[in-house]
Structure 1
Amino acid sequence: MKVWGLLFLCLLQFSCSSQVTEKINGVSFVASREKVQQEHIDPVVAVNANYAAVMPFGFIRSLSAPSVVFNTERQWFGETRTGAKQYAQKLQQNGIKVMVKPQIWVWRGEFTGKIAMENEADWQTLEKTYLDFILTYAEMAEEVKASLFCIGTELEQFVKQRPQFWDDLITKVKERYSGKLTYAANWDEYTRTPFWEQLDYIGVDAYFPLSESKNPSKVEMSAAWQKWKVQLQDIANHTNKPILFTEFGYRSMDFTAKKPWLVDRNQMEVNLKAQAEATQVIFDEFWKEAWFAGGFVWKWFIHHKRSGGAGDNRFTPQNKPAETVIKKFYGDYK
């Protein structure tokens, strides 16, 4: 009987290993030109966040250009190694855990998921420079004892066409960084990402389309989430890894749930209520799930007082009703 009891406990532990008890209530902490001061961290504490994503950047000239340029004097302070480290340490001094999430920016803002080289020589150059980029920040993440490290963001074609590189990259990151790992897959990419078994979280940038309505109701958005939830839970169960929304959020504008990934500077009418309600729905639908780890609101600027506001139709929830929703939920759901 003792043997059977021990076996049962082991099986129970295995079946529950992907379940999460403490949620990641995060903000995506946007890099700036300057050092972070305490006044920049206070609003993050005030919104009851327990995590922040620190995002240094590398740059590529075009979708087929092979070289990742990073950590240069021409970049903003927060986009560099020194800046990202200072940001992380200041956040940690305030009890905020950190995910280091190095990201690529393609000139003119072209979608990183389409980065693909035209010949083998260029692929090898991309691999070498991207490896240098990621290992630089993996080592920095280890220096500050960051709780999470993200090995890439929305790089579907790179992942699809060079799978061995990514297996090798993960091995090399683990040699330098001892914390938890994830990758930020786009909402329409994560089901095809091949290396989840090697990471700790299934990272998803959660810009799932929910409604064609100009002003969608909470009931409508909740119903639309159900098909996406089934897919997310299925992959969590299959891999025995929790889902982490490496980015989530909505524009404060009409049709906010139609194409939530839109980053263009359109003149769509400001709709603060739609942003707040879409944010509430995503909390209500996911944070109660044992297979869900939490997420990082996109996005949070360091100059809180002059960010967002009633006339802004962009992603940030700052100084909008959505900020109140986040503050209450993060405060209640620790």
Structure 2
Amino acid sequence: MRGVTIGPIESLRHPDKGYGTRASARAMDEAKALGSTWISLTPFGRVWDLKPSGIDLTFEAPFEQNREDVLRAMHQAHARGLKVFLVPHLWVETGGWRALIDPGDDAAWARWAAAYRHFLLTWARVAAEGGAEMLSVGVELRSFVTTGRAALFYPILEEVRRVYPGLLTYSANWDDAEDTLIFGELDLVGINAFYPLADKDGAGRDELHAGGRRVAEGIERLAAAWGKPVVLTEIGYTTRKDPAVRPWEWPDGMKNVTIDEEAQALAYEAIIAPLLDSRACAGFFVWRYYADPDDVSQESEWGFSPRGKLAELVLRDAFTARWAADGPSFLGENLGRHRARTPGLLGWELSPPPAWHSSF
């Protein structure tokens, strides 16, 4: 899964720029040109705070409009030969991280589970109608799926299976994936993989690559424990100095930022390179591009998007390389197409690698 997340631009203040528009079609074209084989779409539902009792399906634009927009975006992707991963997210209106949602006592949790069931089944039906090939049943719901409350989640998964025929995964946060209890009911282990690759600023290439190898080793262990492949449902780094130290930090609140494209590109290189050698890793989804590729209002200049930056070259290089998860190659496969001889090092090659070079 060579994936790119295409984030929504749902606000009514941005007409003709969101999912399903001509701008969105250009975003799909760019994803295809990058070498992507999948795109991820991320509709949102809204909760008020971390003690919710319900989920508002309307986010910026009314739900019915968002539903139709997402279906059109799926059609745009499929028309270009791209597979679709639908990832319904929760937005906490008053702030706070969705992983810390705690409605309260048993009765409150039962109400929350019913609300989440309605939210997820709604988007599962959209995924089925649009022919999405994979669906995430949740994003960073630590309090729900790493605790005894997971018992409330299993019946929801059974209902999702009845309305949606495609692959199911769940987007665990990188630091609680090992504690997530529901992976046994899913097809792939999913991780939002904002792993730190170093523990201090100023780390060099060797240290970051060592961090990437540690991440790959952990993924191998997790895949072995569950007996199924791992997909990194999000990976990403901001465009600033030392982005691999605390990669989860949101760019909007940062001040006095030093923009550093080389640091972003190096972080991508360090985490991707060992994944290409891993048969346990089914692929990853880059966080993120936007539904209008020309709209730069969605995040700061030092934000996550790799579009038009050095990091994009790393991604192009990796997406056109051979991965261990691709399976065995066949004679003449590489004739006549671009191929990265050294994944992650920005090197484009027309010819097959020499016999002594390891093949990816």
Superposition TM-score, scaled by structure 1 size = 0.87
Unaligned residue ranges in structure 1 (runs of 5+): 1-23
Give the alignment partner of residue 238 of structure 2, picking from 232, 251, 260: 251
Please say if 1:36 is aligned against 2:17: no
Please say if 1:288 is aligned against 2:282: no
Unaligned residue ranges in structure 2 (runs of 5+): 11-17, 324-360
- Encode CA deviations 1:239-269: one digit per residue, 9 max, x unaligned: 1111110000111111211111111420221
- SS of the equivalent of 1:163 reads helix
Deviates further, 114-123 or 50-59: 114-123
- Encode CA deviations 1:33-75: one digit per residue, 9 max, x unaligned: 3333232322111111110111111011000122111146x43
Shift of 1:100: 0.8
Shift of 1:108: 4.0
2: CA distance, partners of 1:202 / 1:45: 25
2: CA distance, partners of 1:193 / 1:283: 24
Give the alignment partner of residue 139 of structure 2, picking from 139, 150, 153: 153
Shift of 1:123: 1.6
2: CA distance, partners of 1:104 / 1:63: 11
Please say if 1:165 is aligned against 2:152: yes
Deviates further, 48-57 or 35-44: 35-44
Shift of 1:76: 6.8
Please say if 1:63 is aligned against 2:40: no
- SS of the equivalent of 1:297 reads strand
Shift of 1:90: 1.0
Please say if 1:176 is aligned against 2:163: yes
Please say if 1:278 is aligned against 2:267: yes
- Encode CA deviations 1:213-246: one digit per residue, 9 max, x unaligned: 4343221111123333333211211211111100
Shift of 1:79: 8.3
1: CA distance, partners of 2:94 / 2:312: 30
Q: Given the superposition, is the C-alpha separation of residues 264 and 66 from structure 1 closer, same or farther in structure 2, using an over 3 Å criterion?
A: farther
Q: Given the superposition, is the C-alpha separation of residues 283 and 226 from structure 1 closer, same or farther in structure 2, using an over 3 Å criterion?
A: closer
Shift of 1:329: 1.7
Q: Given the superposition, is the C-alpha separation of residues 242 and 248 from structure 1 closer, same or farther in structure 2, using an over 3 Å criterion?
A: same
Identity rate of aligned residues, in percent?
26
Which amino acid in 2 is paired with 1:25? Answer: R
Give the alignment partner of residue 130 of structure 1, picking from 116, 120, 134: 116
Deviates further, 299-308 or 102-111: 299-308
Q: Given the superposition, is the C-alpha separation of residues 319 and 152 from structure 1 closer, same or farther in structure 2, using an over 3 Å criterion?
A: same
2: CA distance, partners of 1:98 / 1:90: 10
2: CA distance, partners of 1:277 / 1:83: 35
Give the alignment partner of residue 216 of structure 1, picking from 203, 219, 223: 203
Please say if 1:104 is aligned against 2:90: yes
Contact 2:219–2:281 (CA<8 Å) still a contact in 1? no
Q: Given the superposition, is the C-alpha separation of residues 150 and 41 from structure 1 closer, same or farther in structure 2, using an over 3 Å criterion?
A: same
Please say if 1:298 is aligned against 2:298: no
Contact 1:55–1:103 (CA<8 Å) still a contact in 2? yes
Number of residue-to-residue matches in the alignment: 309
Contact 2:211–2:270 (CA<8 Å) still a contact in 1? no
1: CA distance, partners of 2:99 / 2:317: 34
1: CA distance, partners of 2:188 / 2:81: 22
- SS of the equivalent of 2:76 reads helix
Give the alignment partner of residue 317 of structure 1, picking from 269, 284, 306: 306
4+ residue segments displaced more than 4 Å: 76-79
Q: Given the superposition, is the C-alpha separation of residues 78 and 318 from structure 1 closer, same or farther in structure 2, using an over 3 Å criterion?
A: farther
Contact 1:100–1:148 (CA<8 Å) still a contact in 2? yes
Identify the residue that residue 17 of structure 1 maps to in structure 2: none
2: CA distance, partners of 1:260 / 1:79: 33
Identify the residue that residue 46 of structure 1 maps to in structure 2: 33
Indicate the RMSD between aligned Cα atoms, in angstroms.
Answer: 2.1
Contact 2:240–2:260 (CA<8 Å) still a contact in 1? yes
2: CA distance, partners of 1:183 / 1:41: 24
Q: Given the superposition, is the C-alpha separation of residues 274 and 76 from structure 1 closer, same or farther in structure 2, using an over 3 Å criterion?
A: farther
Which amino acid in 2 is paired with 1:98? Answer: V
Q: Given the superposition, is the C-alpha separation of residues 155 and 47 from structure 1 closer, same or farther in structure 2, using an over 3 Å criterion?
A: same
Contact 2:238–2:251 (CA<8 Å) still a contact in 1? no
Identify the residue that residue 172 of structure 2 maps to in structure 1: 185
Superposition TM-score, scaled by structure 2 size = 0.81
- SS of the equivalent of 2:8 reads coil
Contact 2:4–2:287 (CA<8 Å) still a contact in 1? yes
